[in-house]
Amino acid sequence: MTHRSPASAAIPLALTLLPSCIIDTKDGGAITEGTSEEGGEVGIGSTTAMPDTSDGQSSGVVGDCTSNDECPDGEVCSDGGCVPEGAPGCPLLGGPSCGNGMIEAGEECDGGADCDPSCVGYYDGIGSTIDLRLTHAAMRPDGVLLAIGDDAATSEVSVARIESLAITSSTSLAPWMSEARRIAVTDTGRIYAVGSLDLELGTVASVVALGADGTVLWSNDELGAEVATDVFADDTMVVVGGGVEGGGAEPAGFVLWVLDPDGALLGQVPASPDLRYLGALTKSGGELVGLGEAPSAPTRVIRWDASGVELWSRPAAEEGEPDAVLNVVVPDGAGGTWAGGAFGEVPLLVHHDAAGVELDRIECIGGAVGEIERLALSPEGRIAMGMSLYDGGVGTPWFAVLTAGAIDIGRTPHLIPDLPSSSEPGEPSAVLWAPDGSLHMGSHDVGDSASSLDVFFSP
- Which pLDDT value is given to residue 413? 52
The whole-number mean pLDDT for each consecutive block of 10 residues of the chain, a chain of 459 residues, reads 38 29 28 30 27 33 63 70 53 46 50 41 56 90 91 88 89 94 94 94 92 95 88 92 68 81 88 81 89 81 85 82 84 92 86 93 72 89 82 68 62 42 64 86 71 63
Q: Please give the pLDDT value at position 245.
A: 66
How many other C-beta atoms are found inside a 10 Å radius of the C-beta of residue 181?
Answer: 23
Rounded to whole angstroms, the Cα distance separating 266 from 430 reads 30
Radius of gyration of the chain (CA): 22
Q: What is the model's pLDDT at position 45? A: 25
DSSP letters for 358-376: EEEEEESGGG--EEEEEEE
pLDDT of residue 425: 62
Amino acid 133: pLDDT: 86
Strands of 8-53 (E only): list them: 25-27, 30-32, 34-35, 41-42
Give me the pLDDT at residue 124, please: 46
**Are 254 and 277 spatial neighbours (Cβ–Cβ below 8 Å)?**
no
Q: What's 300-343 look like in SS3?
A: EEEEECCCCEEEEEEECCCCCCCCEEEEEEEECCCCCEEEEEEE
pLDDT of residue 402: 74
C-alpha span between 430 and 418 (Å, rounded): 19
The number of helix segments (H) and strand segments (E) in the chain equals: 0, 35
Give the DSSP letter of residue 221: -
Q: Residue 323: which residues within 8 A CB-CB, separation 6 or more?
A: 298, 317, 344
CA torsion, ordered 80, 322, 256, 375, to nearest 10 deg: 10
**CA 138 to chain CA centroid, nearest Å:** 13
pLDDT recorded at residue 389? 74
Domains observed in the chain: 131-273 (2.120.10.30)
